[in-house]
């Protein structure tokens, strides 16, 4: 644990290095590092500097607008927000279980989303580090460089993503920011022609997805010490699992394990999330810090996302992905894998799983059914939880009797990983930067650790009205004559 | 060749005209589209949005209200007039709070469709972001004043067809807004019925039947399959005014 690196004991006379923006991630963030004259690291923070406000301005809007509006939080995983909001609002329109066709269409949309987002992250954003080396020449260390040096891998990445986007277009109406899912169900099913269009490239997609898993597994085996220890900090894990314990990225119950793999809680229904999870704010970031309530804010942080999911579940229901999962588990017999770089491995296992699930869903006759929307007694609110590409995504709404939203709480995947990312970069700073003259290559190590979590910083910074603020009025000499603060914890 | 005694010039082309036709009617009958927002074929022309502005013998007029006579010279698609119409639509976007990405009328909205047809790719002017109400008091109808463009179609429909006078405009200039005929100011306290004509004429997303948003998928919405130009001209052909 590197909690001592969150805030330097004495920040005077320290040199400040800022990595801004952090590159090859979604959204805008920066890392600040405070070093002394001997290049010893005293403070490392990942700051989320964007400012959104969805939780506030969704208030007063009609509930049926919400799934379409909130997905604008993100251009990479809008489907996850679209579906999490729809699932929450299913309860408002009195639907506990949407019609079978609606469930199949939503699942297809979601697994298309997972596939495209994972492909984007691995091939476009992270593969340059993994294929060329963290400290390699920054010139070609990007997707164009990958295209030149490894054209087959880059091409597969582009086409995998394209396939996922097509799944989304067919189910949601548009590749980005569609309208397919509505409270209570969906507004369209999948036609036989569309089904054919998606089935045609599937054999190649499955082949490339397996090649992706093999590539990451091989990288781990070739550089085992690096991949096992780079930024590794043990923590608890959180994810949805199906009620039978298998991997389910669309629906299920919450399960948390401690860093050794013991269950902290299991079978927690989504609407009870507040009994298990809490959030705190810190003065230096717009992103909240969630924690497991029973463990408290300092010990209760956890990881979400692919690495958490493949280890939190008891099994994966599709054969190729389950075999790949067993290989990952066998790499760390008897204990959980906490290495941030293993996220890439887990992510590619999920990409393969998504391709397999899409194949299964396309074989379902009811995917083209006509019963699209359910009905039931009107409710006052609901919670929708989904496993977005980056991790557990929670949407919680209350709606008044005039159909307007009165409360919106979003806990976004990257927010869950906030502490985990900060811990990882502090560990990397300690492992690689401490005592060394910082170079671009060394600083990229910090970014590599952040990228492993595939953060979406624009999704994660949405806490308008809840972030801490300090306003100081200074006289011309710089003396503070008045100070107002809200929600700021003491620093130092 | 048309008989010059019964034609007028529309952008240099001789177009037939019959007595009493407005410029809009004569243009549509000849297959020329003129964009409109406050116009509705079932109601008397209003001429308030000015999006149908053309030049008649060198003078700018609204095509929906101005009669045309044989021998007149009408300019429609000049660069100057196209720019003017774009500006008028941009003003409407600027004055209200029109967020197409999350609006349930997207794809069904006349303002959005006219904007696309006129090549309006952005607001251009700094948005005013006015503070306007959402009246959700009625159990089945939502009044979203952020999107109202003051076309008065609901006012006319309620007065002329429904015979109820539920809607009116109140205030002056930039403060002008749609109000409802109830002491409380709430839609729930009017005698609005779901079958009222006033509910089906709003060209934007200001008067909406509740719980209908996004039921129609992308690809099947009003302007997904046929453009506003095609729809207006087909309607004019089927129902010559």
Q: What is the pLDDT of residue A476?
A: 60
Neighbours of A155 (CB within 10 A): 14
Tell me which chain B residue has its CA closest to the CA of residue A175: B218
**Percent with pLDDT over 70 in chain A:** 92
> Tell me: the pLDDT tens digits for B163-188?
999 999 999 988 899 999 999 999 99
Query: Sorting pLDDT into bands at 50, 70 and 90, what band is A466?
Result: very low
Q: Collect all residues of chain A within an 8 Å Cβ-Cβ radius of residue B214.
A: 64-65, 67-68, 179, 182, 187
Nearest to A303 by CA among A222, A369, A376, A392: A392
> Tell me: the pLDDT tens digits for A379-416?
999 999 999 999 999 999 999 999 999 999 988 888 89
Q: Residue B123 is encoded by which pair of tokens?
A: 């607001």
Q: Collect all residues of chain A within an 8 Å Cβ-Cβ radius of residue B102.
A: 65, 68-69, 72
Per the domain annotation, does A395 fall within a domain?
yes
Contact yes or no for B102 and A68 at CB 8 A: yes
Q: Looking at the complex, does the CB of residue A175 fall below 8 Å from at least one CB of chain B?
A: no
Q: Looking at the complex, does the CB of residue A229 fall below 8 Å from at least one CB of chain B?
A: no
Domain that includes residue A236, residue range: 51-425
Q: Looking at the complex, does the CB of residue B131 fall below 8 Å from at least one CB of chain A?
A: no
> Tell me: the pLDDT tens digits for A151-173?
999 999 999 999 999 999 999 99
Crossing angle of helices A78-90/A151-172, nearest 10°? 30
Q: Looking at the complex, does the CB of residue B161 fall below 8 Å from at least one CB of chain A?
A: no
Distance between CA B240 and CA B20 in Å, rounded?
13
Which of A57, A60, A64, A182 is the best substitution to test chain B (most B C-beta atoms within 10 A)? A64
Architecture of domain B1-123+220-241: Roll (3.10)
Per the domain annotation, does A323 fall within a domain?
yes
- 3-class DSSP state of A43: strand
Give chain B's mean pLDDT. 95
**Would the pTM of this model clear 0.80, i.e. be above it?**
yes
Q: Looking at the complex, does the CB of residue A179 fall below 8 Å from at least one CB of chain B?
A: yes
Q: Which of residues 37-76 of A touch B (CB under 8 A)?
A: 60-62, 64-65, 67-69, 72
Per the domain annotation, does A35 fall within a domain?
no
Average pLDDT rounded to a whole number, residues A174-181: 96
Q: Are strands B7-10 and B73-75 parallel, antiparallel or unpaired?
A: parallel
Query: Sorting pLDDT into bands at 50, 70 and 90, what band is A251?
Result: very high
Topology annotation, domain B132-210: Alpha-Beta Plaits (3.30.70)
Q: Looking at the complex, does the CB of residue A99 fall below 8 Å from at least one CB of chain B?
A: no
Per the domain annotation, does A43 fall within a domain?
no
Query: Sorting pLDDT into bands at 50, 70 and 90, what band is A472?
Result: low
CATH code of A148's domain: 1.10.645.10
Q: Looking at the complex, does the CB of residue A300 fall below 8 Å from at least one CB of chain B?
A: no
Contact yes or no for A61 and B214 at CB 8 A: no
Distance between CA B90 and CA A22 in Å, rounded?
37
Nearest by CB to A179, which of B136, B210, B217? B217
Per the domain annotation, does A439 fall within a domain?
no
Contact yes or no for A64 and B137 at CB 8 A: no
Distance of CA A426 to the CA centre of its chain: 20
Give chain A's mean pLDDT. 91
Per the domain annotation, does A249 fall within a domain?
yes
Per the domain annotation, does A385 fall within a domain?
yes
Tell me which chain B residue has its CA closest to the CA of residue A71: B102
Contact yes or no for B213 and A64 at CB 8 A: yes
Tell me which chain A residue has its CA closest to the CA of residue B133: A60
First to last CA, chain B: 24
φ and ψ at A383, to 5 degrees? -120, 135
The answer, yes or no, to whether residue A315 has pLDDT greater than 50, is yes
Would you list the DSSP string of A277-326?
A: EEEE--TT-SS-EEEEGGGHHHH--EE-SHHHHHHHSSB-SSHHHHHHHH
Per the domain annotation, does A79 fall within a domain?
yes
Nearest by CB to A178, which of B104, B213, B218? B218
Query: Sorting pLDDT into bands at 50, 70 and 90, what band is A200?
Result: very high
Q: Collect all residues of chain A within an 8 Å Cβ-Cβ radius of residue B136.
A: 62, 402-404
A26 DSSP assignment: B
Average pLDDT rounded to a whole number, residues A54-64: 93
Cβ-defined contacts of A219-226 (< 8 Å, 24+):
A219/A130, A219/A344, A220/A331, A220/A341, A220/A342, A220/A345, A226/A341
CA atoms within 13 A on the CB side of B147: 24
Q: Are strands A405-411 and A391-399 parallel, antiparallel or unpaired?
A: antiparallel
Tell me which chain B residue has its CA closest to the CA of residue A69: B102
Tell me which chain B residue has its CA closest to the CA of residue A171: B217
Q: Where in chain B is CATH 3.10.20.740?
A: 1-123+220-241
Q: What is the pLDDT of residue A484?
A: 58
Burial A164-187 (b: 16+ CB within 10 A, else e): bbbbbbbbbbebebbbbbbbbbbb
Q: Where in chain B is CATH 3.30.70.20?
A: 132-210
Contact yes or no for B101 and A61 at CB 8 A: no
Cβ pair A41, A434 in contact under 8 A: yes
* Higher-confidence position of B240 and A123: A123
The answer, yes or no, to whether residue A289 has pLDDT greater than 90, is no
> Tell me: the pLDDT tens digits for B102-112?
999 999 999 99
Which of A54, A58, A68 is the best substitution to test chain B (most B C-beta atoms within 10 A)? A68
Q: Looking at the complex, report in whole angstroms how far the Cα of residue B62 sits from the nearest Cα belonging to chain A.
A: 36
Domain count along chain A: 1
Contact yes or no for A173 and B217 at CB 8 A: yes
Q: What is the pLDDT of residue B193?
A: 96
Q: Collect all residues of chain B within an 8 Å Cβ-Cβ radius of residue A182.
A: 213-215
Q: Looking at the complex, report in whole angstroms how far the Cα of residue B128 sits from the nearest Cα belonging to chain A.
A: 17
Q: Collect all residues of chain A within an 8 Å Cβ-Cβ radius of residue B137.
A: 402
Q: Looking at the complex, does the CB of residue B214 fall below 8 Å from at least one CB of chain A?
A: yes
Q: Looking at the complex, does the CB of residue A177 fall below 8 Å from at least one CB of chain B?
A: yes
Distance between CA A12 and CA A264 in Å, rounded?
41
Q: Looking at the complex, does the CB of residue B210 fall below 8 Å from at least one CB of chain A?
A: yes
Crossing angle of helices A418-428/A440-452, nearest 10°? 150
């Amino acid at each position: 644990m590197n909690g001592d690196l969150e805030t330097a004991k004495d920040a005077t006379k320290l040199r400040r290095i800022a990595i801004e923006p952090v590159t090859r991630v979604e959204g805008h963030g920066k890392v600040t590092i405070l070093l002394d004259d001997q290049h010893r690291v005293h403070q490392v923070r990942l700051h989320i500097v964007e400012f959104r406000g969805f939780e506030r301005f969704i208030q007063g809007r009609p509930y049926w607008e919400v799934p379409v509006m909130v997905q604008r939080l993100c251009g990479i995983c809008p489907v996850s927000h679209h579906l999490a909001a729809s699932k929450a609002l299913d309860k408002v329109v009195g639907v506990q279980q949407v019609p079978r066709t609606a469930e199949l269409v939503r699942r297809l949309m979601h697994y298309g989303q997972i596939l495209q987002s994972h492909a984007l992250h691995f091939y476009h954003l992270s593969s340059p580090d993994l294929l060329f080396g963290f400290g390699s020449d920054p010139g070609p260390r990007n997707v164009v460089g990958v295209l030149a040096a490894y054209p087959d891998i880059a091409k597969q990445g582009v086409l995998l993503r394209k396939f996922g986007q097509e799944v989304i277009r067919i189910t949601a109406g548009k590749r980005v920011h569609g309208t397919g899912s509505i409270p209570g169900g969906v507004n369209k099913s999948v036609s036989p022609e569309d089904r054919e269009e998606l089935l045609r490239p599937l054999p190649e997609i499955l082949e490339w997805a397996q090649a992706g898993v093999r590539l990451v597994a091989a990288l781990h085996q070739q550089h085992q010490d690096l991949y096992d220890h780079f930024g590794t900090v043990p923590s608890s894990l959180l994810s949805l699992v199906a009620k039978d314990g298998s991997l389910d990225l669309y629906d299920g119950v919450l399960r948390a394990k401690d860093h050794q793999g013991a269950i902290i809680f299991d079978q927690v229904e989504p609407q009870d999330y507040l009994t298990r999870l809490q959030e705190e704010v810190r003065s230096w970031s717009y992103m909240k810090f969630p924690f497991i309530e029973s463990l408290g804010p300092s010990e209760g942080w956890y990881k979400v996302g692919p690495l958490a999911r493949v280890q939190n579940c008891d099994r994966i229901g599709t054969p190729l992905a389950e075999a790949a999962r067993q290989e990952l588990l066998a790499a760390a017999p008897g204990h959980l894998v906490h290495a941030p770089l293993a996220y890439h491995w887990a992510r590619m296992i999920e990409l393969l799983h998504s391709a397999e699930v899409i194949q299964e869903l396309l074989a379902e006759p009811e995917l083209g059914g006509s019963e699209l929307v359910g009905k039931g007694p009107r409710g006052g609110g609901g919670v929708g939880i989904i496993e977005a590409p980056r991790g557990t995504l929670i949407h919680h709404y209350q709606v008044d009797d005039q159909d307007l939203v009165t409360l919106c709480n979003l806990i976004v995947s990257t927010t869950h990983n906030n502490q985990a990312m900060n811990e990882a970069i502090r560990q990397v700073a300690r492992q690689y930067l401490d005592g060394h003259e910082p170079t671009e290559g060394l600083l990229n190590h910090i970014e590599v650790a952040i990228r492993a979590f595939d953060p979406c910083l624009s999704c994660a910074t949405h806490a308008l009205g809840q972030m801490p603020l300090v306003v100081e009025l200074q006289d011309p000499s710089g003396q503070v004559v008045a100070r107002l603060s809200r929600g700021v914890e003491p620093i130092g | 060749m048309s008989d010059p005694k019964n034609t007028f010039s529309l952008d240099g082309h001789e177009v037939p005209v019959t007595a009493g036709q407005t410029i809009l009617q004569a243009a549509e009958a000849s297959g020329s589209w003129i964009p409109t927002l406050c116009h509705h074929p079932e109601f008397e022309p209003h001429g308030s949005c000015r999006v149908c502005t053309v030049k008649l013998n060198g003078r700018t007029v609204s095509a929906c209200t101005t009669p045309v006579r044989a021998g007149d010279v009408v300019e429609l698609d000049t660069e100057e007039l196209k720019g003017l119409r774009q500006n008028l639509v941009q003003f409407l976007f600027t004055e209200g709070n029109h967020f197409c990405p999350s609006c349930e009328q997207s794809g069904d909205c006349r303002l959005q469709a006219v904007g696309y047809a006129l090549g309006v790719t952005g607001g251009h002017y700094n948005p005013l972001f006015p503070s306007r109400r959402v009246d959700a008091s009625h159990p089945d109808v939502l009044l979203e004043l952020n999107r109202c463009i003051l076309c008065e179609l609901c006012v006319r429909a309620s007065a002329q067809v429904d015979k109820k006078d539920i809607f009116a405009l109140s205030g002056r200039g930039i403060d002008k807004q749609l109000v409802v005929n109830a002491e409380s100011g709430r839609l729930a306290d009017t005698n609005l019925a779901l079958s009222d004509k006033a509910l089906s004429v709003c060209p934007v997303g200001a008067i909406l039947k509740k719980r209908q948003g996004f039921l129609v998928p992308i690809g099947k919405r009003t302007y997904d399959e046929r453009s506003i130009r095609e729809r207006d001209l087909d309607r004019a052909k089927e129902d010559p005014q």
